[in-house]
């Protein structure tokens, strides 16, 4: 994400059209026409990766049904990958399948091919699943879940997966280090109807780089918010997986609240993903000694 060689969105958009097309031609699978259409428009207003993704998505959405179908059909068949994995040695399997697709047993492989073939017969385009490192469990249940859809419903679902893949690819080629997104928190004590003041919180990065590293330590202020503003912003606010750790047991103990010997809630982890470097992520905790909730806030 912070690779010096990547252009910022402003740098990318300032390039000659042919260079832009060259950079973006692979965002939609084997469909350089999306990038080519893009540069024919006025792109001077595109100042963020979100705006770029939206513009390309709009081109796809506005294209004809035939073009969309061709786009779907340009995607590889997951069945070929699964079949290929079966022919490899254990070592090669692991190299080529971080998601563990190679761990499908015989019956699972059989089910997969059967349903994958039914899918292709029914819809005339390959099964597309935009889940990074999808496990065999995900693949098998997604395939089973989507097979009964009507043609039109599944067509829309597949295009939506394609847009998601495009977004993940865009994130790989643009330097988003200085994007405007940021992460905030707020803790409310729902047992006492007040902000949870003086609660210790840590923030751990779970995805690479720096997986497992505690990247922030905080104590809530009298309004239950982090002293000093956002937990992450600018270069520290990166797409990835994070985990808040809330020391709620300590907080309730210090309030003199009754909690059991082994408290029902003590150290509370909240794991969440950041997907868009342009957005404000507000990830609060509403907590009593016996219940809690969180949500994507704004």
CB of 166 to a second copy, least distance (A): 9
Q: Is 210 a residue that touches a second copy (CB under 8 A)? A: no
Q: Is 192 a residue that touches a second copy (CB under 8 A)? A: yes
Q: Is 297 a residue that touches a second copy (CB under 8 A)? A: yes
- Residues 220-239 vs a second copy: string with x where CB under 8 A? ---xx--------------x
CB of 141 to a second copy, least distance (A): 4
- Contact (CB, 8 A) for 138 and 131: yes
Query: Crossing angle of helices 106-123/78-86, nearest 10°?
Result: 160
Distance CA 59, CA 73 (A): 18
**Residue carrying the six token digits 């081109």:** 59
Nearer to a second copy, 182 or 251 (CB): 251
Nearer to a second copy, 1 or 88 (CB): 1
Nearer to a second copy, 17 or 296 (CB): 296
Closest CA to 189 of 250, 273, 269, 262: 250
- Residues 12-51 vs a second copy: string with x where CB under 8 A? ----------------------------------------
- Helix intervals (H) in 63-216: 65-73, 78-86, 90-96, 106-123, 136-146, 151-173
Select the span of 26-34, 90-98, 110-118, 288-296 touching a second copy (CB under 8 A).
288-296
- Contact (CB, 8 A) for 143 and 113: no
Q: Is 188 a residue that touches a second copy (CB under 8 A)? A: yes
The burial class, CB within 10 Å (0-12 / 13-18 / 19+), for 54 is middle
Q: Is 10 a residue that touches a second copy (CB under 8 A)? A: no
Among 93, 134, 180, 202, binds a second copy (CB under 8 A): 134
Task: Walk across the sheet containing 285-288 and list its strands.
Answer: 194-195, 187-189, 285-288
Among 138, 202, 221, 236, binds a second copy (CB under 8 A): 138
SS3 187: strand
Nearer to a second copy, 6 or 69 (CB): 69
- Residues 58-77 binding a second copy (CB under 8 A) are 61-62, 65, 68
- Helix intervals (H) in 174-200: none
Nearer to a second copy, 33 or 272 (CB): 272
Closest CA to 116 of 95, 89, 132, 139: 139
Q: Is 191 a residue that touches a second copy (CB under 8 A)? A: yes
Closest CA to 57 of 68, 66, 47: 68
Q: Is 271 a residue that touches a second copy (CB under 8 A)? A: yes
- Residues 148-167 vs a second copy: string with x where CB under 8 A? -xxxxx-xxx-xx---x--x
């Amino acid at each position: 994400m912070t690779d010096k060689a990547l252009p910022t969105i402003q740098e990318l958009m300032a390039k000659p059209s042919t260079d832009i097309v060259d950079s973006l031609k692979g965002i939609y699978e084997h469909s350089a026409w999306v990038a080519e259409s893009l540069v024919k428009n006025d792109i001077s207003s595109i100042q963020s990766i979100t705006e770029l993704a939206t513009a390309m998505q709009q081109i796809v959405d506005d294209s004809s049904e035939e073009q969309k179908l061709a786009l779907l059909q340009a995607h590889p068949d997951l069945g070929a990958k699964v079949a290929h994995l079966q022919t490899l040695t254990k070592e090669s399997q692991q190299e080529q399948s971080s998601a563990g697709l190679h761990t499908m047993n015989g019956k699972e492989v059989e089910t997969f091919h059967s349903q994958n073939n039914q899918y292709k017969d029914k819809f005339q385009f390959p099964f597309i699943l935009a889940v990074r490192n999808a496990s065999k469990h995900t693949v098998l249940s997604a395939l089973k879940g989507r097979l009964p859809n009507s043609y039109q419903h599944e067509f829309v679902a597949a295009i939506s997966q394609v847009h998601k893949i495009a977004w993940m690819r865009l994130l790989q080629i643009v330097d988003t280090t200085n994007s405007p997104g940021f992460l905030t928190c707020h803790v409310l004590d729902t047992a006492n109807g007040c902000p949870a003041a003086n609660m210790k919180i840590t923030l751990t990065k779970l995805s690479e780089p720096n997986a497992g590293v505690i990247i922030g330590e905080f104590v809530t202020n009298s309004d239950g918010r982090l002293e000093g503003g956002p937990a992450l912003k600018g270069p520290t606010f990166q797409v990835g997986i994070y985990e808040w750790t809330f020391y709620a047991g300590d907080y309730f103990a210090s309030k003199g609240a009754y909690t059991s010997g082994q408290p029902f809630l003590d150290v509370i982890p909240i794991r969440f993903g950041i997907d868009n470097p342009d957005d404000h992520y507000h990830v609060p905790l509403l907590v009593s000694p016996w219940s809690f909730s969180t949500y994507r806030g704004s």
